[in-house]
């Protein structure tokens, strides 16, 4: 089989073939992770997916910077146990706010706001169940 007839993915990646010229079933049956992620997120365009990746890519390092500022403002606690307790209480909501801010900048606010609402529903269900069992 010559290289012109070699099968490729939707992203243009050449798939390996066996000596009969067919693609092994394990490679052809499963969509690329990128396509699965776009489908799961309900994203149609590659441009929107890129903007979502950039939003995540900006929010992550930003929260690391803001974390140091937060620790400084609350007196830089030395106790590891205090940090373990305060981290999810302070840093996780900060990350969510930064994510929404960057989403607005990159034009993906609607996408991230829907995800934020779903997260709020899941957390709300968890706490409502936790209070029922108390």
Q: What pLDDT digit, counting tens, does each position of 1-18 carry?
A: 445 565 565 666 666 555
Cα 107 from Cα 40, distance rounded (Å): 19
b/e map 38-47, b = 16+ CB within 10 Å: beeeebeeee
Mean pLDDT, residues 84-91 taken together: 90
- Give the CA count within 13 Å in the CB-facing half-sphere of 119: 9
Predicted model pTM: 0.66
């Amino acid at each position: 089989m010559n290289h012109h007839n070699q099968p490729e993915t939707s992203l243009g990646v050449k798939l390996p073939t066996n000596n009969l010229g067919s693609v092994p079933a394990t490679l052809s049956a499963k969509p690329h992770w990128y396509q699965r992620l776009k489908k799961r997120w309900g994203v149609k365009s590659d441009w929107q997916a890129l903007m979502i990746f950039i939003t995540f890519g900006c929010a992550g390092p930003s929260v690391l910077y803001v974390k140091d500022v937060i620790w400084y403002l609350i007196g830089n606690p030395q106790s590891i146990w205090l940090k373990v307790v305060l981290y999810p209480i302070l840093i996780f909501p900060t990350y969510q706010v930064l994510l929404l801010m960057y989403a607005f900048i990159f034009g993906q606010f609607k996408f991230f706001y829907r995800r934020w609402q779903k997260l709020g529903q899941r957390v709300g269900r968890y706490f409502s169940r936790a209070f029922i069992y108390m």
